[in-house]
A and B are shown apart, each in its own frame.
Chain A
Amino acid sequence: MQASLFITCYNDTLFPETGRALVRLLERLGVEVEFRAGQTCCGQMHANTGFRREAFCQAKRLVRLYADAEAVVIPSSSCVAMIRDQYPGLFEELGDEALRKDFAALVPRVYELSEFLIDKLGVEDVGAYFPHRVTYHASCHGLRGLHLGERPFRLLRKVRGLELAPLANLERCCGFGGTFSVKNGEVSSAMLTVKLEDVLATKAEFCTALDNSCLMHLGGGMHRQYAGMKTIHMAQILASTEKEPPEVAG
């Protein structure tokens, strides 16, 4: 099984440890990982800020780049949701027939990490060891966009040593919302405050998610408040073993 990793622009720049963990995890599961050097961004930021033509250019680039990939794995629910939910509209409006055909052929092979592990590889126990109390934040795009449902919990429950702390109001947004976090900075901050109350009340050591965007938001708030909880992408938890504990920054 071969998988092409689309790391996403912000993970490449800000969270390389997530990518490194993902490579380690997939290779441990016998997947041959490839990384295409031409990749940049899926276009989500432009699309959600109203820059449709720009978003289209990036969407087209992505479809062309991965046209012959056996599977594309993306450690970010919101980027996968962008591809599944917004590309069709962009291509309908601005693309041509050939592009729409290429996209239709590619999209069934695009996977969010937990989908790839459970639906494609058929594994729940990835042999991870992470002896910590952890709470899971369901990102809106994972929850309502991709309908990930129980997948993340099924993976986390099989991690040895991990104590899962339930999070109240799991379905409530953390307030990140991409450029919303700066265009409506004050409202976004108020939403973060409310979310952090629930997250910190779990008394977990780590807050994990399948989206580093939410974690950047939650973690940024935790750091500002000296909260003493850390954020960690689920790929890092799943990659972690007795011999190789995860790299945790800051």
Chain B
Amino acid sequence: MSAAAEQTVLDRAELDPAKAPSFPVAALPVLRNVQLRKNVAHAIDVIQAKRARLVAEKTDWQALRAAAAAIKDHVLENLGAYLEQFEERCTAAGGTVHWAVDAADARKIILEILREEKADEVIKIKTMTSAEIQLNPFLEAAGVRTYETDLAEIILQLGEGEPSHIVVPALHVNRSQVREIFARRMGIENLSDEPKALTAAARNYLRQKFLLVPTAISGANFLIAETGGVVVVESEGNGRMCLTLPRTMITLAGIEKVLPRFQDLEVMLQLLARSATGERMNPYTSLWTGVTPGDGPQKFHVVLLDNGRSSILARKKERQTLRCIRCAACMNTCPVYRQTGGHAYGSVYPGPIGAILTPQLEQLRHAQSLPFASSLCGACYEVCPVKINIPEILIDLRAQVTDQERKTAGKFFDPMYVAMRAANLIFSRAWLFHAAQKMGRIGSRFLTRKDGWMHSLPSVGAKWTLTRDLRGLPRQTFHEWWAARERGAK
């Protein structure tokens, strides 16, 4: 094997919010990567176009959104009661329910179950929640081999990459990279990059795991309180294999995933498939309740994960964040995500929902740059199937970050903070505003070129003149013109 081939195919992104660089910094390598930006833009444009077509055919789309938001709000109002009901029904059906307060707790619970099962290997259905708690590296370090079974997750696991999207995690990887990863890690010579050949290779790799590994881990799209059931939706059927072949199943689910009734799926599934993949119905919807003798896993555990969620629940305005059903429509429509892809967000949850969810899950100890990673264009709110007002929450989180930062000495002299304080003073009195305009006009003369435009600005303005000129300040402001006109009229 050549030296070049020893290197990994995919760039390693840092998705731990505690370690990730700030958004503007993390975005830079992606912005320089023309191919990556093309891959991302093409992929999300395709999904968005499909979504738009299928949403347009639903005459009751707005009613469905309102219903979904109402169902979720009702759950969040009564979350404790529904979770207890879920626990009771799930237990009655033969499952075991565990409560995990944070990521470390959830990892410990899962490892204990695996130890009890004497499992040193586990197959996994795609679950972003397990990525949230960094489960795979923890299990690997504890001597448990993890095998992802979602095609995109296999690509990332074998290529040692990180997810950049919550529905299409390998969105940023192209076909020739997939070919290279599969050829090397599965040891296949002369593998073509035709989709048929690549999926055949994956199928061959997967069948062995399905048949040999008796323990599986899944996430959950929904938990049903009245039945104690769990719902997973997927496109490939690999999840279905994990749900039927193994002896033991462990489901990891955020506490906000619970729905009151089976009937509520009628609303949610119509919204989810259309919003997520632009399909009327996703190809595989699996529902299971506890244990059924002779059919499917004979041992079933559910780990209910808090990990910061109840602190979001406690905040009136931000609570709607927990309505999220992880469809990713917000990132597919986001003009910022379209340029940066997912890795710049430094979290397993990228895009607009990640920009509000991650800092809240981190309780603003990390990821403080994320609420600012938006032009507040509002496209995310418009497509959100559960009507999360993401721009409103972004602005609210910005205020929380600013309140936190402005007390620190380092930020006191930060040019942006100085400018904002000065602007506030200036806007408090019209005469101060007018004096500042005059001073600005005089000062800007030195920066204005012969063509009447400023091409290079100092301090924070330098980021503007990276790519944009600014017209020189006109000789007369509007209010000066108005005053002169009034004088002339008299």
Partner of B437, one of A13, A18, A140, A184: A13
B residues less than 8 Å from A160 (CB atoms): none
Interface residue count for A (Cβ, 8 Å)? 71
User: For chain B residues 32-73, which have a beta carbon within 8 Å of chain A?
Assistant: 37
Q: What is the minimal beta-carbon distance from A65 to any residue of chain B, in angstroms?
A: 10
What is the CA–CA distance of A195 and B479 in the complex, to the nearest angstrom?
33
Interface centre among B336, B401, B452 (most CB of A within 10 A): B336
A residues less than 8 Å from B187 (CB atoms): none
The answer to whether B479 touches A37, judged by C-beta atoms less than 8 angstroms apart, is: yes
Asked if B250 is at the interface (CB within 8 A of a chain A CB), the reply is no
Partner of B31, one of A7, A46, A187: A187
Asked if B408 is at the interface (CB within 8 A of a chain A CB), the reply is no
Residue on A nearest B335 in the bound complex, by CB? A173
The answer to whether A250 touches B336, judged by C-beta atoms less than 8 angstroms apart, is: no
A residues less than 8 Å from B433 (CB atoms): 9, 40-41
The answer to whether B479 touches A35, judged by C-beta atoms less than 8 angstroms apart, is: yes
The answer to whether B402 touches A145, judged by C-beta atoms less than 8 angstroms apart, is: no
Known contacts: A7-B478, A175-B375, A224-B469. The answer to whether A184 contacts B335 by CB under 8 A is: no
Q: What is the minimal beta-carbon distance from A191 to any residue of chain B, in angstroms?
A: 5
User: For chain A residues 17-49, which have a beta carbon within 8 Å of chain B?
Assistant: 17-20, 23, 35, 37-41, 43, 45-49
Asked if A99 is at the interface (CB within 8 A of a chain B CB), the reply is no
Stretch of A50-58, A101-109, A111-119, A122-130 with 4 or more beta carbons under 8 angstroms from chain B: A50-58
Asked if A11 is at the interface (CB within 8 A of a chain B CB), the reply is yes
Task: Report B424-458 CB contacts with A as 1/0, cut-off 8 Å.
Answer: 10111110010001001000000000011101000
Asked if B381 is at the interface (CB within 8 A of a chain A CB), the reply is yes
The answer to whether A47 touches B478, judged by C-beta atoms less than 8 angstroms apart, is: no
Q: What is the minimal beta-carbon distance from B454 to any residue of chain A, in angstroms?
A: 9
Asked if B398 is at the interface (CB within 8 A of a chain A CB), the reply is yes
The answer to whether B468 touches A7, judged by C-beta atoms less than 8 angstroms apart, is: no
A residues less than 8 Å from B476 (CB atoms): 16
Asked if B477 is at the interface (CB within 8 A of a chain A CB), the reply is yes
| Interface bracket on B | 35 or more
Asked if A180 is at the interface (CB within 8 A of a chain B CB), the reply is yes
What is the CA–CA distance of A115 and B455 in the complex, to the nearest angstrom?
36
Chain A interface mostly: helix
Stretch of B21-29, B144-152, B302-310 with 4 or more beta carbons under 8 angstroms from chain A: B21-29
The answer to whether B24 touches A250, judged by C-beta atoms less than 8 angstroms apart, is: no
The answer to whether A12 touches B468, judged by C-beta atoms less than 8 angstroms apart, is: no
The answer to whether B437 touches A12, judged by C-beta atoms less than 8 angstroms apart, is: yes
The answer to whether B402 touches A16, judged by C-beta atoms less than 8 angstroms apart, is: no
The answer to whether B430 touches A37, judged by C-beta atoms less than 8 angstroms apart, is: yes
Task: Report A182-207 CB contacts with B as 1/0, cut-off 8 Å.
Answer: 11111111111110000000000000
Partner of A191, one of B28, B339, B437, B477: B339
The answer to whether A140 touches B377, judged by C-beta atoms less than 8 angstroms apart, is: yes
Asked if A241 is at the interface (CB within 8 A of a chain B CB), the reply is no
**Shortest 5 CB-CB contacts between residues of A and residues of B:** A177-B375, A185-B463, A50-B402, A220-B468, A50-B398
Q: What is the minimal beta-carbon distance from A235 to any residue of chain B, in angstroms?
A: 12
The answer to whether B24 touches A190, judged by C-beta atoms less than 8 angstroms apart, is: no
Query: What would be 25 A-B contacts, judged by CB atoms less than 8 Å apart?
Result: A7-B478, A14-B473, A15-B474, A16-B481, A40-B429, A46-B424, A48-B376, A51-B402, A52-B403, A54-B423, A172-B379, A177-B375, A177-B376, A182-B416, A182-B460, A183-B372, A183-B416, A186-B28, A186-B31, A187-B24, A187-B373, A188-B375, A190-B31, A190-B340, A250-B453
Asked if A217 is at the interface (CB within 8 A of a chain B CB), the reply is yes
What is the CA–CA distance of A73 and B424 in the complex, to the nearest angstrom?
23
Asked if B99 is at the interface (CB within 8 A of a chain A CB), the reply is no
A residues less than 8 Å from B285 (CB atoms): none
Q: What is the minimal beta-carbon distance from A153 to any residue of chain B, in angstroms?
A: 19
Partner of B430, one of A39, A47, A172, A186: A39
Q: What is the minimal beta-carbon distance from A214 to any residue of chain B, in angstroms?
A: 10
Given contact pairs A9-B433, A140-B377, enumerate 14 new A-B contacts (beta carbons under 8 Å): A15-B478, A16-B474, A17-B474, A41-B423, A43-B427, A45-B420, A46-B420, A51-B402, A52-B402, A54-B420, A144-B379, A175-B335, A177-B377, A190-B31
The answer to whether A144 touches B474, judged by C-beta atoms less than 8 angstroms apart, is: no
B residues less than 8 Å from A177 (CB atoms): 374-377
Asked if A249 is at the interface (CB within 8 A of a chain B CB), the reply is yes
What is the CA–CA distance of A7 and B24 in the complex, to the nearest angstrom?
33
Task: Report B167-191 CB contacts with A as 1/0, cut-off 8 Å.
Answer: 0000000000000000000000000
A residues less than 8 Å from B471 (CB atoms): 14, 216, 219-220, 223, 249-250
What is the CA–CA distance of A97 and B379 in the complex, to the nearest angstrom?
33
Known contacts: A40-B426, A144-B381, A183-B416. The answer to whether A220 contacts B470 by CB under 8 A is: yes
Known contacts: A16-B476, A224-B469. The answer to whether A190 contacts B395 by CB under 8 A is: no
Q: What is the minimal beta-carbon distance from A52 to any residue of chain B, in angstroms?
A: 4
The answer to whether A187 touches B339, judged by C-beta atoms less than 8 angstroms apart, is: yes
Q: What is the minimal beta-carbon distance from A193 to any residue of chain B, in angstroms?
A: 7
A residues less than 8 Å from B440 (CB atoms): 13
The answer to whether B398 touches A46, judged by C-beta atoms less than 8 angstroms apart, is: no
The answer to whether B336 touches A191, judged by C-beta atoms less than 8 angstroms apart, is: yes
A residues less than 8 Å from B104 (CB atoms): none
Known contacts: A35-B482, A180-B375, A187-B339. The answer to whether A192 contacts B468 by CB under 8 A is: yes
The answer to whether B453 touches A223, judged by C-beta atoms less than 8 angstroms apart, is: yes
Asked if A2 is at the interface (CB within 8 A of a chain B CB), the reply is no
Asked if B378 is at the interface (CB within 8 A of a chain A CB), the reply is yes
B residues less than 8 Å from A54 (CB atoms): 420-421, 423-424
What is the CA–CA distance of A249 and B474 in the complex, to the nearest angstrom?
9
Task: Report A204-229 CB contacts with B as 1/0, cut-off 8 Å.
Answer: 00000000000011011101100000
Asked if A61 is at the interface (CB within 8 A of a chain B CB), the reply is yes
A residues less than 8 Å from B77 (CB atoms): none
What is the CA–CA distance of A199 and B157 in the complex, to the nearest angstrom?
41
Asked if B263 is at the interface (CB within 8 A of a chain A CB), the reply is no
Known contacts: A16-B481, A184-B23. The answer to whether A217 contacts B468 by CB under 8 A is: yes
Task: Report A161-181 CB contacts with B as 1/0, cut-off 8 Å.
Answer: 000000000011101111111
